[in-house]
Structure 1
Amino acid sequence: MMGGLAFLMALVGSLTSCETEQKEETAETKRPNIIFIMSDDHAYQAISAYGSTLINTPNIDRIANEGMLFENAFVSNSICAPSRAVILTGKHSHINGLVDNAVRFDSTQVTYPKILRENGYQTAMIGKWHLKTQPTGFDYWKVLPGQGHYYNPEFRTPEGIVLDSGYVTDLITDFAINWLEEAKDKDKPFMLMYQHKAPHREWLPTEENFRNYTQKEFPEPESLFDDYEGRGRAAKEAEMRISTHMGLTNDSKIHPDIVEKLGYKEFINWYASAYHGNLDRMSPEERAAWEEVYGPINEAFEKAGLHGDELTKWKYQRYMQDYLASIESVDENVGRLLDYLEENGLAENTIIIYTSDQGFYLGEHGWFDKRFMYEESFRTPLMIKWPGVITAGSKNTDLVQNLDFAETMLDAAGVDIPEDMQGKSMLPLLKGEKVEWRDALYYHYYEYPGIHAVKRHNGVRTDRYKLIHFYYDIDEWELYDLQEDPKEMNNLYGDPAYAEVQENMHQKLKELMKEYKDEVVIPQL
């Protein structure tokens, strides 16, 4: 028999060994926290990590510099609510049911926050929701009603509507940090959806930023005066041109009385009421600061009496000044959140994702807004930081899509991905592994007839080519060689030199429609 002392020593050694193994196992299997940051209508052309010459975004760039930047990230339906539904469900619009902004999201569906919550994560949704129905699958939520407001906005909570004083981008960040500080269960991993209203139209910046940006002048895109030569009706008939469809009142911030006095005709009659609705939310102090800067802009505009190309050029500058100034606040607040994580020991085990609900036109093709499958709208910024897993400063060129976000977060959390989700986990890409990936993306836009009059269309994109089919009240095709024509100015559909490419792209489109169970029915009008 073992002596008493020897037995005791062996027992202690055994317990120590078990404890060490348990600690090592815990360290290896510790699940990461996840923060999903999404802005609204943030063009990749307005992020310095993507080479923007329009703005410097040092804090958003931190995520790319310390993680991975995706150079070929796209959406499946370039419009606000449908994009959000795709992200939540990991399913295309025709499957999750939210095909356009008029549809209410079916909140009984399985979503990645629900799955994470069921698997031990504490979940929160703060900021812009924009899905009409109440958020589900969250331990905590505080969201903007509809589009929300920039100044002194209301927020929806489980207890009802509350009014908060301040600037929306600052407030959303305050609420996110407060939740991390006070409400989070320290014994559970967390998933926070931190989603901004900015830079959604009508672009009302903070005082500091509008004082700065209204003094700046920005380079015009080459296609600001695009005549859409060689393309079909869809591009020509879209109602999103800066020249004729952007408002002088709500968008350019010119008082409706001046617009009426000078005889300008606004494209939509609600523009003037939107101007008043936005500015009337300001406190007397905020309004005084606004008028101090925008008053002289109004006076100069009234004296100039601009028309034609000169008016378009002026509207473009006003657009960029307010749009980019709104992004400046997003960048500042992303920096606040990143600093909080670092200062509180949360950065090392937290995945941070930055993206937008889609791309946006910054004057390319003469447009603002999104919706089309053309690159500026279809492509979205995406950068992901995960210390110890993602190599800092790495870049990825694979074709990824917002359809993949849910699967990626579930996979990173060690949770099984539902078989009916349609995207792919990007986890192997994040780890830098060489894997067989998709060679094409599928896109489908539905909101026509509707605001901006962008025709319904679907299409396929590979690493080099893009095929688009516009349908419903037309039946037109467009083919682009993105290597030779990255700005998509020359429709090659029907060009004999591209006959084989065209046939292959048609076949690829059919394959993807079958894979994703989508069927386009062209009504007989």
Structure 2
Amino acid sequence: MKPEDPRNQPNLMLIMTDQHFGDMLSCLGRTPGLHTPNLDRLLARGCAFDRAYATQPLCVPSRNSIITGRYPHEINVTYNLHGHPGFLKEPMMGTYLSDAGYDCGYVGKWHLAVPVEDKASHGFPFVRLAEEGGIDARIPKTCGEFLDRPRDRPFFLFASWLNPHDICEFARIAGGIPDRLPNGDIPPVPEDPAQLPPLPQNHGQTPEDSSVLARVQSLYPRIHPTAGYNELNWRQYLWAYHRLVEKVDAQIGELLHELEIRQLIEKTVILFTSDHGDGCGAHGWNQKQTFYEECARVPLIMTGPGIPSGGRLDKECPVSIGLDLLPTLLDYAGVPPPPALPGRSLKNLAEGGEEDEWPDHIILQTEFGGFGENQRSSIRGRCVVDRSYKYMCYVDRSMDLIEEQLFHLPSDPGEMKNLVHQPGHEKILERMRNKLQEYVRRTKDPFQPVPSTAQ
């Protein structure tokens, strides 16, 4: 895969955090008490997509979807396991861009399904992984080392942060389970409620919430140590989460400085996103994996040559970060994406083009459990997100239906009113079921959706 005109290739950078809910940017004005000046500055240089979703909101499946541009089930990476033994090898982001003439580097958290030593598979000649203890703090300077490498071609740099994922360890510590924060402590958590953020309006589980939540929480108490949390505990959780987001924001600011002092920032297309979000106490949930907005929706900022500045926010187009980022990077590299890749390039939208031809929906996947080879999923889910509605379908290990949910996001952004059994929504439910069935047929997903009444 060679570019049409190598002279027009910009440098490329993908910055990724871990467990970063899409609303956690202070410039959006949705999170009182949060300050992210560096990400705000990055957005002011370009644009953002407000409806970007993790293709599967769990670390390893999401990251391997992003790096291959495929659905997790297509590469057989659907649960968290390092060095995934069942990975169906597909070309990866590094191999595509190396073939396109880029000098490729990877710094930070790995979580890919191939060993670091297998450079022929992942395509990154320069790899510097996170070491135990203070992982994130070293990323900016290590990226600077990569930027200083002698080269006569453009570069692609993947900078991969661990935070704000440390909220998982914080939750355990606050829940009485011994643990530590891998990236160092945060300031002492206030006891005074006046210094703590408010709970979200959709905090606490109700009869409208998925029954899957309570089932999973009871199965994995170490992963979900928040079952006994009171209101103060949850507000302290949110306070800690905000501090972790601010911590990684400061380090991303250091990385942007590394670009600026080398006069590279104007010559580099930068994409910023996260592998998934965090429950943030909505629906009484910590962790990830659910299809609720807090877990599945992530930030997506784009800046660089050809992208108008000003902080434009696209609130309409549903974006799959697992499927759409790789075609976007290939588009900027000047090479056509392989026809087998299901995603679309965001380049035209980022540069102010028309949205008319953008797909009207995306599909998300999840598998609960799945935190190791011997803990494979006991509950599977699929989700259809279009420009107004979100449809969720959960089945058990035998593919028997557990439940469906349907939400109208413009009028119910907290996803508190399930419309599946509400009169007047039968046609919408049927339409969403049909979209899921078409996806299952097209991608050979083994998931068994609810049959359409039209069949």
TM range (shorter): 0.7 to 0.9
Q: Which segment drifts farther, 457-466 or 446-455?
A: 446-455
**Matching residue within 128, 143, 146 for 1:176:** 143
Aligned to 2:318: 399
Shift of 1:63: 1.4
| Identity, % of aligned positions | 29
Shift of 1:338: 1.0
Trace 1:5-404 onto structure 2 (pairs within 5 A). Answer: 29-51=7-29, 52-102=31-81, 103-104=84-85, 106=87, 108-131=89-112, 133-135=114-116, 136-144=122-130, 149=132, 151=133, 167-181=134-148, 183=149, 185-200=150-165, 201-203=168-170, 204=181, 209-210=186-187, 216-226=195-205, 228-239=206-217, 246-247=224-225, 311-397=229-315, 398-402=317-321, 403-404=323-324
Give the counterpart letter for 1:406 in structure 2.
Answer: L
Shift of 1:222: 2.3
Shift of 1:400: 1.0
Output the CA distance in 1 between the equivalents of 2:88 and 2:124.
12
Give the counterpart letter for 1:169 in structure 2.
Answer: D
> Structure 2: which 5+ runs fail to align?
117-121, 171-180, 450-455
Give the counterpart letter for 2:105 in structure 1.
Answer: A
- Closer, same or farther: CA 209–387 of 1 in aligned 2, 3 Å: farther
8 Å contact kept, 1:169–1:198: yes
Counting matched residue pairs gives: 415
Partner SS state of residue 348, structure 1: helix
Output the CA distance in 2 between the equivalents of 1:240 and 1:129.
30
Output the CA distance in 1 between the equivalents of 2:352 and 2:35.
28
> Structure 1: which 5+ runs fail to align?
1-24, 152-166, 249-266, 268-307
Partner SS state of residue 316, structure 1: helix
**Matching residue within 432, 439, 443 for 2:364:** 443
Give the counterpart letter for 1:364 in structure 2.
Answer: A
Task: Please tell me the root mean square deviation across aligned C-alpha atoms, in Å.
Answer: 2.9
8 Å contact kept, 1:101–1:447: no
**Matching residue within 327, 331, 342 for 1:422:** 342
Structure whose alpha-carbon radius of gyration is higher: 1
Shift of 1:381: 0.8
Output the CA distance in 2 between the equivalents of 1:455 and 1:174.
42
Partner SS state of residue 353, structure 1: strand
Relative to its length, the structure with more helix (as a share) is 1
